[in-house]
Amino acid sequence: MTDFTATRAAFHLPEGMIYLDGNSLGPLPKAAAARVAQTMTAEWGEHLITGWNACGWMDMPTRMGDRIGRLIGAEAGHVVVGDTLSIKVYQALAAAIKLNPNRRVILSDTGNFPSDLYMAEGLISLLGPEYELRLVAPEEVEEAITDEIAVTLITEVDYRTGRKHDMATLTAKAHANGVITVWDLAHSAGALSVNLAGTNADFAVGCTYKYLNGGPGAPAFIYVAPRHADTALPALSGWLGHDSPFAFDLGYTPGAGIARMRVGTPPIVQMAALDAALDVWDDVDLQDLRARSIELSERFIAGVESVCPELTLASPRDATRRGSQVSFHFADGYAAMQALIAHKVIGDFRAPDIMRFGFTPLYLDEDDVDAAVDILANIMRDGLWDTPEFKQRKAVT
Type of residue found at 33: A
Measured CA to CA, the distance from residue 48 to residue 64 in angstroms comes to: 22
Measured CA to CA, the distance from residue 205 to residue 215 in angstroms comes to: 18
Q: Which residues contact 145 (CB under 8 A, 6 or more apart)?
A: 107, 152, 170, 173, 174, 177, 179
Q: How close are the terminal C-alpha atoms of the chain, in Å? A: 36
Please list the active-site residues. Answer: 113, 184, 209-210, 356
Measured CA to CA, the distance from residue 119 to residue 132 in angstroms comes to: 13
How far apart, in Å, are the Cα atoms of 158 and each of 46, 166, 227, 254, 324?
A: 45, 12, 28, 33, 11
The residue among 222, 235, 231 whose CA lies nearest residue 127 is 235
Q: Which residues contact 251 (CB under 8 A, 6 or more apart)?
A: none
Measured CA to CA, the distance from residue 170 to residue 241 in angstroms comes to: 30
Measured CA to CA, the distance from residue 169 to residue 146 in angstroms comes to: 14
Measured CA to CA, the distance from residue 95 to residue 104 in angstroms comes to: 13
